[in-house]
Structure 1
């Protein structure tokens, strides 16, 4: 029997981010130096998963809120882009490679999650094809480099879940979210606008197209900010019901649903939390129907 460690290669290095460890390190340090640690330490962050040339600066605002001195385990939840899933899936690898250093998957947590019967196993090929988790690996490695020998990760690929499954995963993950040594990363882009995305909603009252997109993304931020924190916000809930009908970016909702259901679960026990958005960006500013863009946001969840 072979004892060879199963490794997931950094398959998007060289295209979505720098393959050179020194170049990547310089880029990450530059972006992080421009961000402020304003509300940490974070228990969960939301950050984009696009190419670093588009969203690296935005993501830094979320990663700046991490305290490596208390974080020992990082859960990374990313939406599935290439394979249909009705559940969540765990990796077949033991180690995720990055140009900075390798990240070890927490096999004890994986074993506990697998025992629940709630997870599928993704193939190594599926894992390496998917970018939503990988794009957070270099930033995780950089943010945690001072305690890298004590670090493990728990990658989870999130499918298109029913509301009842969202609640089930939220209940399961809430006990991990309650532990201050755990950090959750929500991998999420926001609005994908343009004919190539088959989404061209435009509210002329907001001005130019990119302003309409920003207004829509800010409405989405209200979903994050209020849905699980103040259930008495009736107007917010009515606007969200309308929003769900016109906002088509599954990237935004899939990877966040499990974590915010876990937040909702913890709130019932009296745990006080606050979610704040820290930065917003667009890949380009759309001004006509031939343009396209993807929106990015960085945020952090603080447990008081």
Structure 2
């Protein structure tokens, strides 16, 4: 299979290219968005954006939260030519990480080329396998692509799904690639799942306090993409990269979400000081 077709278009986000682009552009272009944090926006002007943490629920729940981080990329789009995208495998459990064998990931907005050269390098690592099957129906990476396609110009993608693997192993694998000046790391993760609103708020604020103190100890109960976040925290702490929170909400804060069983969403920007 040369191209992985979109698996959740029409479910997690619009199937129509026109409707999808309009929705993403609305969030990215709305400088007066209610959730915008000026401090986070100002921080991106002080250094190169090296990583984002963004949620991966349906756009009606978390799209605006993700956009708060992605919006800043447009100012640095000419620099970013490679994206490492890490998310959790929701459908398959396995040892290690999984890269795709295909050459492109496709969304209604077009095809994104896979960084085949990096895939060939990483597949030699014992904890990394190559499997189109693991990637075929996974939403955690796919939902990030329309934002990347809307914010960046020409870029290649290294999509990595994690399962039973140590964050230290993932950090060692991607660090040589991430050190490149033209490389962005995107961590796809929601926060706590299916607690009552007040409990989720308490849990998610504690999780954010751990993230902001660079404690790479998150569990899947705190964040479904805990491995990816912990990986980033290990690398960011080592390099002294500041981390700024953009937005923290849960599905109960949206117009269509109830407050009995909510899911938490957060976005962060990590930059290299100038």
Q: Taking structure 2 as the reference length, what is the TM-score of the superposition?
A: 0.86
1:172 aligns with 2:159: no
Aligned counterpart in structure 2 of residue 284 of structure 1, from 228, 243, 252: 252
Alpha-carbon distance in structure 2 between the residues aligned to 1:20 and 1:38? 34
Aligned to 1:233: none
Separation (CA, whole Å) in 2 of partners of 1:181 and 1:156: 18
Larger radius of gyration: 1
Q: CA deviation at 1:263?
A: 2.7
Matches within 5 A, 1:1-304: 6-35=2-31, 37-40=41-44, 41-66=48-73, 67-122=76-131, 124-144=132-152, 147-148=153-154, 151-161=155-165, 165-194=166-195, 209-227=196-214, 248-264=221-237, 267=238, 271-284=239-252, 291-304=260-273
Q: Does the 8 A contact of 1:74 with 1:152 survive in 2?
A: yes
Give me the whole-angstrom Cα distance separating, in 2, the residues matched to 1:53 and 1:25: 14
| Per-residue Cα deviation, 1:19-49 (whole angstroms, up to 9, x for no partner) | 1111111100111123564322420000011
Instruction: Please report how far the alpha carbon of residue 224 of structure 1 lies from its aligned counterpart in structure 2 after TM superposition.
Output: 1.1
Which stretches of structure 1, 4 residues or more, deviate above 4 A after TM superposition? none
Deviation, structure 1 residue 226: 0.8
Counterpart CA distance in 2 for 1:118 and 1:126 is 15
Superposition deviation, residue 249 in structure 1:
4.0
- Between Structure 1 and Structure 2, the one with more strand by share is 2
Alpha-carbon distance in structure 1 between the residues aligned to 2:79 and 2:70: 14
Note if contact 2:69-2:268 (Cα within 8 Å) is conserved in structure 1: yes
**RMSD of the alignment, in Å?**
2.3
After TM superposition, give the deviation of residue 250 of structure 1 in Å: 4.8
Question: SS where residue 54 of structure 1 aligns?
Answer: helix
Q: Which runs of 5+ in 1 are unaligned?
A: 195-208, 229-236
TM-score (norm 1): 0.78
Using the TM superposition, give the Cα deviation of residue 285 of structure 1 relative to its aligned residue in structure 2, in angstroms.
Answer: 5.3
- In 2, the alpha carbon distance for the partners of 1:290 and 1:251 equals 20
Question: Contact 2:4–2:105 at 8 Å: present in 1 too?
Answer: yes
Moved more, 33-42 or 130-139: 33-42
1:69-90 CA distances to partner (integer Å, 9 max, x unpaired)? 1100001101011111220111
SS at match of 1:26: helix
CA distance in 2, matches of 1:115, 1:210: 44
Contact 2:207 2:222 in 1 (8 A): no
Q: Is the 8 A contact 1:170 1:263 kept in 2?
A: no
